[in-house]
């Protein structure tokens, strides 16, 4: 599972740099309990938090992800698509590129499983833009406290710095095409020259 692999890599980097969990916590502003669970593969991590961890451990974000596919291929066949992340048992992420490290856009297919009201996530924000296209099901999109339902064929292009979130308040799976910019996995120019 990817979260277990990420956790092992974080622990290996942290221990090789003689950092305690408390010191990593101070550098990343993430709790020691969360970091401990993450290192043991007991929880998932969002891209923004993982980016803070990568920065604190002085590696590229891409260090934590297997890049087994050939970067020379621009086509991803439906049968080649792999689950990249399962987040909070509600979101299944598939990345739709063979070249996450060198592209400006990050395209994803996301399956949003039904969510009970008590499990709804809090709105969040992050750098960049987000384009959402509903392929199947009904998505509830919350922007700055206002919620709208998006149906198949509906889309939203949002400024990600605004508080937002989305959920599935139905009893069927919702499928979305999402494109983010900037791509947090893109290698920085600085790291390419090192």
Q: Hey, CA dihedral for 30, 5, 15, 39, is it positive or negative?
A: positive
CA distance 123 to 170: 19
Statement: the pTM of the whole predicted model exceeds 0.85 = no
pLDDT recorded at residue 120? 61
CA distance 110 to 91: 7
Domains of the chain and CATH, by start:
2-64 (1.10.260.40), 78-181 (2.60.120.10)
pLDDT mean values, one per 10 residues, the chain (194 residues): 75 93 93 91 78 86 62 72 69 81 86 72 84 96 92 96 90 93 69 38
pLDDT recorded at residue 46? 74
């Amino acid at each position: 599972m990817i979260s277990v692999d990420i956790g092992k890599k974080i622990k290996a980097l942290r221990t090789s740099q003689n950092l305690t969990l408390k010191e990593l916590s101070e550098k990343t502003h993430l709790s020691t309990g969360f970091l401990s669970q993450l290192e043991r593969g007991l929880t998932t991590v969002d891209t923004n938090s993982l980016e803070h961890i990568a920065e604190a451990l002085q590696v590229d974000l891409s260090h934590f992800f297997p890049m087994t596919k050939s970067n020379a291929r621009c086509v991803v066949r439906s049968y080649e698509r792999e689950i990249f992340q399962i987040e909070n048992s509600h979101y299944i992420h598939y990345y739709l590129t063979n070249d996450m490290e060198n592209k400006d856009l990050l395209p994803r297919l996301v399956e949003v499983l039904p969510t009970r009201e008590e499990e709804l996530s809090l709105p969040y924000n992050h750098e960049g833009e987000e384009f959402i296209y509903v392929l199947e099901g009904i998505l509830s999109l919350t922007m700055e406290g206002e919620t709208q339902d998006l149906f198949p064929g509906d889309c939203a292009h949002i400024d990600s710095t605004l508080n937002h979130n989305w959920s599935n308040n139905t009893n069927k799976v919702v499928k979305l095409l999402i494109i983010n910019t900037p791509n947090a996995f893109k290698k920085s120019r600085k790291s390419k020259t090192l």
